Amino acid sequence: MVRYWKWLMGDKDHFTLEGRIFNATCIALIICVLLYSPISYFLLTMELFLILVGMAFLVGILYYLSRFKGLSGISATLFQIALNIALVVNYYYNSGIDGPNHIIFLVAFFISAATAPIKQYYIWLPLNILLLSGIMMVEYTHPNFIELTYSDTTSRFVDIFFSYLGIVIFIFIVTMFVRRSYNRQREELIAKSIALEEANNTKNKLLSILGHDLKEPLASLQGYLELLADFELDEQEQKEMNAQLLSMTRNTSFMLSNILAWTRAQEQRLSADLQILGVKDVLTHVVELARSISLKKDISFEIDLPRHIYVKADAQMLALIIRNLLMNAIKFTRKGGNIWITATTEGDQCTVMVKDDGIGIPDAMQPGIFRMESGPRRGTESEKGTGLGLMLCQEFAVKIGGHLNFTSRPEKGTTFSLKLPAAPMPVVFIKKDREVNNEALELTN
């Protein structure tokens, strides 16, 4: 029912709050008028019954133009014109001051305040007051101008009571919708404000880190070039300096790629291209790159990425997540340590796990590890970082429909688990596997 009601009102991406309030008012008014119509048919005049049915039909047309044709502004203006005409006609056929017309004028004022464009307030709100004052003055000066349409006192009391009841229901529906819409919009604004503040804080941290961490490799590169220009270095010295510079530039390049990816994500330019992917096909290059970097620390890799495991994900985002997790594992694992990367499936879910036996994450840092709250940490050999990697991993995991969590114990190691929707192996790969198996069987025979 809630989803259907939201559909009737129009979604917030295509309709302004004023447009959705107008749609809600039209529906509430149609419901109340149709509920009141039988009362007018049995107790009052046929003319009033036809006026009410015609009003409901006209409001339905205006609602259609607003909700399905996108003409909310024009519909709201036509609605105000029709409303004021209906007020005068209803006053004439519904016993004038002896009927519930002053209450109806009051609720009409409420409708105008809720649905009229703000620029038109000075037209419709004063007009409501002038119409009621004018028609009451006419009735006062010409007592026989408006006939009493009630057959007896009971009919009058019944009409006034049900008019009041219908108006109360109408005001309740519209007011609840307005309040909920306002509260929802306020909550969204608060959430956006918090997200913007967090993004600004992150940006400021990144700029500070970037300014500091770019200075060191550039200074080292400058110093190396100056040494080459002024001195003759032997081959061993050149190899050592080349290795240091390679490590610095690799770390700097990795840092810049993370910052670029985060910036694009914040600008909403980075969307997930979900496809059915083989986990091993996507991650083989990433794992080999990480393994080559880990050779300096003599870290062993245990890899278990079965070829038959497929997921629905974005290839670049998945590779970036695992690359960050592996680089972190290398950074916080001591020489001679171990890293494991595995992929398993259970039901309709695939879990890619990156585990290490390194120094772990301090308990105090764990609650804010995905929000860059604790700042960057240095690795076991003073490797630098921005602290941005895990925040990127979490954001990209959500974008590809996954979930990233971790467990860690200081000095015992850390395990990150990326859960993704599993996908069946494409038919073309199943056929290829069968062909390979058949060829192997023939060679064996």
Q: How confident is the model at residue 255 (pLDDT cuts 50, 70, 90)?
A: low
Q: Is the pLDDT of residue 86 over 50?
A: yes
Cβ atoms within 10 A of the Cβ of 37, count? Answer: 18
DSSP 424: P
Pairing of strands 338-346, 300-304: parallel
- Centre a 10 Å sphere on the Cβ of residue 136 and count the other Cβ atoms it contains: 16
Percent of the chain surpassing pLDDT 90: 19
Residues 410, 363: contact at Cβ < 8 Å?
yes
Q: Over pLDDT 70: what percentage of the chain?
A: 80
Which among 210, 289, 256 is positioned nearest to 392, based on CA atoms? Answer: 256
The closest alpha carbon to 322, from 279, 283, 292, belongs to 283
Each residue of 338-371: b (16+ CB within 10 Å) or e? ebbbbbbbeeeebbbbbbbbbbbbeeebbeebbe
Asked whether the predicted pLDDT for residue 343 surpasses 90, the reply is: yes
CA distance 47 to 36: 14
As a whole number, mean pLDDT of residues 410-419 equals 93
Q: Which residue has the higher pLDDT, 67 or 8?
A: 67
pLDDT 10s digits, 261-311: 666 665 555 567 788 999 999 998 888 878 887 888 899 989 999 988 999
- The Cα–Cα gap between 168 and 331 comes to 67
pLDDT band at 120 (very low <50, low <70, confident <90, very high): confident
Give the pLDDT confidence score for residue 443 in this predicted structure. Answer: 42
pLDDT tens readout for residues 364-380: 888 888 876 666 677 88
For residue 233, report the phi and psi dihedrals to the nearest 5 degrees. -100, 140
CA atoms within 13 A on the CB side of 297: 25
Give how far Cα 274 sits from Cα of 60, 277, 311, Å: 42, 9, 9
CA 219, CA 202: separation in Å to the nearest integer? 26
pTM score > 0.85 for this model?
A: no
Estimate to the nearest angstrom the gap between the alpha carbon of 45 and the chain centroid: 53
Band (pLDDT 50/70/90 cuts) for residue 216 is low
Length of the chain (residues): 445
Report d(CA 33, CA 23) in Å as an integer.
Answer: 15
What is the mean pLDDT of the segment spanning 178-187?
A: 81
Beta partners for residue 423, in sequence order: 310
6-63 residue pLDDT tens: 777 777 777 777 888 888 888 888 888 888 788 777 766 777 788 888 888 998 999 8
Confidence (pLDDT) at 440: 43
Mean pLDDT (the chain) is 80
- Highest-pLDDT range among 7-11, 167-171, 438-442: 167-171
Q: Do residues 150 and 98 lie in contact, with contact meaning Cβ atoms separated by under 8 Å? A: yes
- Determine how many CB atoms are found less than 10 A away from the CB of residue 263: 13
Contact 112, 125 (CB under 8 A): yes
The domain over range 274-429 is classified in CATH as 3.60.20.10: no
What residue ranges do the domains of the chain occupy? 2-194, 274-429
> Residue 363: in which H helix or E strand, if any?
none
- Give me 131's structure tokens: 């119409």
Residue with the larger pLDDT of the pair 103 and 257: 103
In the predicted model, is pLDDT for residue 438 greater than 70?
no
